[in-house]
Structures are given as structure tokens and as C-alpha cells.
Amino acid sequence: MAKKLKTYQTSLGFFDQAMAAPSMKAALQAWGADSNLFHQGAARESRDPDVIAATMAKPGVVLKRPVGSDGPFGEHADLPTDLDDTDKPAKVTRKSKARKPKKSSLRPADKAAERKAALAYEREQKRRDREREKEEAARKKEYERRQASVDKAQAALDEAAACVTAPPIAIEGQRGASHKPT
């Protein structure tokens, strides 16, 4: 039985990233994080229905949008183009009102949709694993090719070094044979 998918969200670099995954660990692996972003407070489980809908439509795929924007998440996101500070008015400081905690607006779970999303996640995970294996095989083949080239160059260097050290001995032998005292 496939695990129930949850939606996780973080902000890395120039992008906000979100994905549907069965666990926090799976989300961290997909993001390529080498530390626990959830423990650091940089990642969280999303409660936004729009984000949840977008990620459940493509489980196991990291969806992105430019940092600070409220646009929809997509597989490929462009960097924001409105970074000009010249058109912005001067900042006015305001007192913030106390916010009321939002009620969780989670929709009742549709079991068939959950199963479908979980299976899609597993397919995507298997595809990523196959891709990773192909990349590892290509890296191994390239390493072996380079190592063979290095071994060949080292053998040529050793042979050349042997030729450089051998002639003085041979020359002394020739010199001794041709200049024998009579």
C-alpha cells in the first residue's frame, strides 16, 4: 500500500519549491538538501489548497515559482523580471494588526485520487532512480576510460624514463670497449 502523500514547501535560492511526497525525507532528497530544512525552519508542510492541488496533480515532481511571488507553481519557473527599484515608492512603516489564526481548509481526502497520486509518485521515483543509475553508469564508464588513458600515459612515461637512464650505462660500455688500452 502506497503511503499517503503530503505537500511540502521551501524557499531555496531564487525559487519557492513545493512537492507532494510521502515523507519529509523524500522531499529533502528531491530538493537535493543535505541538511534538515524542516528542523531549521526553512521548509514546512503546506496548508494552501492551491499549492496542494498543484502538487497532487504532479506528485514526486518539484514545482517552482519565483521567490516572493504568489503565482502558480510549475515545473519550470522563470526568474522575476520586475526587480527595478526605481519605480517603487518610499517605504511607509505601519503597525501590523494582530492576525487571527487561519482555520485549516483541508478538503476531505478522496481515496481514489490519493491512490492515483501515490502511484504517480512511485512511478516518478522509479524514473528518477533509473535516470540516476544511467548517470552513475556513464560516470563509471568515463572514469574507467580516463583511468586507462592515465595508465597508458604512465607506462609511456616509465618507458621514456628507462630510456633516459639506460644510455649513460650503454655509452660507458661502448666507451670502454673502444678505448681499451693496447
- Domain boundary assignment for the chain: 1-78+111-143
Q: Which three three-digit cell numbers place residue 32?
A: 537535493
**What is the rounded (10 degree) CA torsion for 20, 23, 24, 29?**
-80
Starting at the edge strand found earlier in the chain, the sheet holding 63-66 runs 43-45, 6-12, 15-21, 63-66
* 34/31 Cα distance (integer angstroms): 9
Rounded-to-5 percentages of helix, strand, coil across the chain? 50, 10, 40
Predicted confidence at residue 87, as pLDDT, reads: 54
Give yes or no for a contact between 5 and 117, defined as CB atoms under 8 angstroms apart: yes
pLDDT tens-digit readout, 17-70:
899 999 899 888 888 888 888 898 889 998 888 888 888 888 888 888 888 888
pLDDT tens-digit readout, 90-100:
555 666 666 76
Q: Is the pTM of this model over 0.85?
A: no
